Amino acid sequence: MKFTSILLAAVLATALTANAQTSAESPMTTAVIRVYDKMIEENPSDYETYFARATEYYNQDDYIKALDDVNHALRYAPENAREVRFGAYRLRASINEMRHKYSDALNDINSALAFNPESYSCIQQRANIEFSLGQYTNAKSDYTKLLRAFPHNQEAMFGLSRVAVKENNIGIANDYADRAVDLFPSTAESYIRRASIRTMMGNVEGAVDDYIIALTTDNSSNGKALAALVELANTNYPAVMNGLSRAIRQAPRVGMFYYIRAAIAESHNNYTSAISDYDKILNDKLYSYAGLNSSLAKCFYALGQYDTALANADYAISATPDNAPYFALKANILNALGEPAEALSNIGKALAKEPGLVAALDAKADAQIALGDVSGASVTLAEALLNDPLNSELLMKRAWLCDTKLNQPELAKSIYTKIAELDSDPADVKSLKGFALARIGKDAEADSWITSLLVNQPDTDGTINYYGACYYAEKGSMEKAAECMEKALEKGYANYHNWVDANGSVTVGALRDTPQFKGYMSRFASIFNR
């Protein structure tokens, strides 16, 4: 589940809705770029225009084009064009900083400072770069110089706080961070930045409190605070949930807090807690929109309570005309209920409203497989992959079809190889890389992949161990699979659908026939609300 994007799109739509075009999409920006293009076409050594266009590209986050243009500006600008060269070096330092090329960035900002040694904005930028390079003594010197010149400079205070953390001077770090927040206490960004420092200190609960304060301070930084809170939950789920519970106790009528807690619980497979909070929002009329019933439908679907899931999906569909994803969700539920023909009917409605919707095409492939149309399912998955070509789950499902149903071993192997070669996060078990490696005969690499995840990555919600159970079940190592299953359930992996009903490319499969499986499902029945 791509929870971050869902949360940022859904939480309190009034706070997060943005109808304005981005700078890169605006007609004005396009027109400006065209003017610059024409000027450079007429004079290919026009360094001032290269610099201006580089600045425009940088503001659009197009760092490759910005870098190319600023290099041209520096190539053609004469030595006496001091203002342009100063600005170009500063800009290139910023570009390299954004590209994490910190050594290059430091060289460039020093070149800019050679033109203007007293530029405090350059000194501030250099201090940040030095910190990123681990040059804490130099960074401290520059932040201190900045603070002496401007005693109320928040950037310098936060910078000195970060340095103090690295020097293990936690008291000083706290003091600088608190002083920085006191300068602008009504700005969400102040609390977001202090939260990042508290996280560096290991004060996760303090960081959570700051992110929650940021959410209630102003709407402009809601997305950033939410994303940070979600990321923190991935590494310290209990601390985030405790912080949200504290906020709810202090403000029991703020629906946003219940929603965030529910959505994070849902994303971490704690469906019963999520359902409780979603119900609270609806029953107490704290907030209302169709997505709440959609979220309830997803939770009940995961718990294997398909009839209740279906009722909530139907309500979500009826509550808004923008319901293509809800029709796709309903199709998944109908597939689980053994009604693939009815699922296809709902998929048709989803695709009529939103052609190419990947979730609908995925559900369509499942319905086609259930109806015996495996060739059609393969074509449907190929269509879905046109819209989401790096989706490991879709790739795996299509490869599995080619391998097990369509007698297309070479195509299957090429898709498995593609999955194995994707530039995926090594900490992401959902990349499915080890499954692909195993299926093309690279067992040692596959075993190393799953072992590294199980040993080295924090498994806060049992997801990694669930996939470990799937992996070892596929390999026929039932004892290892059962060990992973027990750990996954202990950590709260409550997706009953995946444990019991899911079919297809990656499942616990043969483990379901073992006494251990039945025993664990009985022992941990409470997490499934059974």
Residues 87-102 have pLDDT tens digits of 999 999 999 999 999 9
Local confidence band at 218 (pLDDT 50, 70, 90 cut-offs): confident
pLDDT score at 482: 98
Structure tokens at 190: 């102040």
| Alpha carbons within 13 A on the beta-carbon side of 397 | 28
Around Cβ 449, how many Cβ atoms within 10 Å? 23
Give the mean pLDDT of 398-406.
Answer: 97
* Statement: residue 12 has pLDDT above 70: no
What DSSP state is assigned to residue 440? Answer: T
| Alpha carbons within 13 A on the beta-carbon side of 55 | 13
3-state secondary structure of 506: coil
pLDDT score at 318: 96
In a domain, 375, yes or no: yes
Distance in angstroms (rounded) separating the CA atoms of residues 276 and 99? 43
3-state secondary structure of 104: helix
Local confidence band at 219 (pLDDT 50, 70, 90 cut-offs): confident
pLDDT score at 26: 67
CA distances from 46 to 60, 80, 92 (A): 21, 15, 18
Nearest to 376 by CA among 346, 350, 340, 331: 340
In a domain, 436, yes or no: no
pTM of the prediction? Answer: 0.81
> What CATH number does the domain containing 353 carry?
1.25.40.10
What DSSP state is assigned to residue 22? Answer: P
Nearest to 263 by CA among 9, 525, 524: 9
* Statement: residue 4 has pLDDT above 50: no
In a domain, 360, yes or no: yes
In a domain, 363, yes or no: yes
| Alpha carbons within 13 A on the beta-carbon side of 125 | 27
Give the structural domain span for 303.
293-389
Number of structural domains the chain divides into: 1
Yes or no: say if 424 and 392 are a contact pair by the CB < 8 Å rule: yes
> Quick one: residue 492, left, alpha or beta (phi over 0 = left, psi -120 to 50 = alpha)?
left
pLDDT score at 377: 98
Structure tokens at 24: 């890169």
Distance in angstroms (rounded) separating the CA atoms of residues 102 and 478? 48
Locus of tokens 């703020």: 254
Give the mean pLDDT of 172-194.
Answer: 96
The residue type found at 390 is L
Q: Note the Cα 7 to chain centre separation in Å.
A: 10
Distance in angstroms (rounded) separating the CA atoms of residues 268 and 462? 8
pLDDT score at 1: 37
Q: Chain-wide mean pLDDT for the chain? A: 93
Give the mean pLDDT of 130-152.
Answer: 97
Locus of tokens 């495996």: 374
Distance in angstroms (rounded) separating the CA atoms of residues 235 and 271? 19
pLDDT tens per residue across span 322-366: 999 999 999 999 999 999 999 999 999 999 999 999 999 999 999
Q: Which residues contact 118 (CB under 8 A, 6 or more apart)?
A: none
CA end-to-end span of the chain, whole Å? 24
For the chain, the C-alpha Rg in angstroms (whole number) is: 27
* Statement: residue 450 has pLDDT above 90: yes
pLDDT score at 29: 80
Distance in angstroms (rounded) separating the CA atoms of residues 304 and 406? 30
Distance in angstroms (rounded) separating the CA atoms of residues 473 and 113? 61
In a domain, 433, yes or no: no
In a domain, 13, yes or no: no
Structure tokens at 171: 């008291």
Dihedral over alpha carbons 112, 117, 120, 124 (to 10 degrees): 60
Yes or no: say if 504 and 473 are a contact pair by the CB < 8 Å rule: no
pLDDT score at 10: 40
pLDDT score at 220: 77
3-state secondary structure of 308: helix
Long-range contacts, 166-171 (Cβ 8 Å, 24+): 166/136, 167/136, 170/201
Yes or no: say if 87 and 53 are a contact pair by the CB < 8 Å rule: no
pLDDT score at 25: 54
In a domain, 328, yes or no: yes
Yes or no: say if 188 and 215 are a contact pair by the CB < 8 Å rule: yes
Distance in angstroms (rounded) separating the CA atoms of residues 276 and 258? 9
Local confidence band at 14 (pLDDT 50, 70, 90 cut-offs): very low
Yes or no: say if 205 and 229 are a contact pair by the CB < 8 Å rule: no
Distance in angstroms (rounded) separating the CA atoms of residues 440 and 395? 14
Distance in angstroms (rounded) separating the CA atoms of residues 369 and 91? 54
What DSSP state is assigned to residue 497? Answer: I
Q: Note the Cα 127 to chain centre separation in Å.
A: 29
pLDDT score at 181: 97
pLDDT tens per residue across span 256-305: 999 999 999 999 999 999 999 999 999 999 988 889 999 999 999 999 99
* Statement: residue 121 has pLDDT above 50: yes
Local confidence band at 410 (pLDDT 50, 70, 90 cut-offs): very high
The residue type found at 76 is Y
Residue 322 burial by Cβ neighbours in a 10 Å radius (0-12, 13-18, 19+): exposed
Yes or no: say if 58 and 94 are a contact pair by the CB < 8 Å rule: yes
Nearest to 112 by CA among 134, 92, 137, 140: 92
Sign of the alpha-carbon torsion through 270, 276, 282, 287: negative
H or E stretch covering 131: helix 120-132
In a domain, 475, yes or no: no
Give the mean pLDDT of 28-45.
Answer: 91
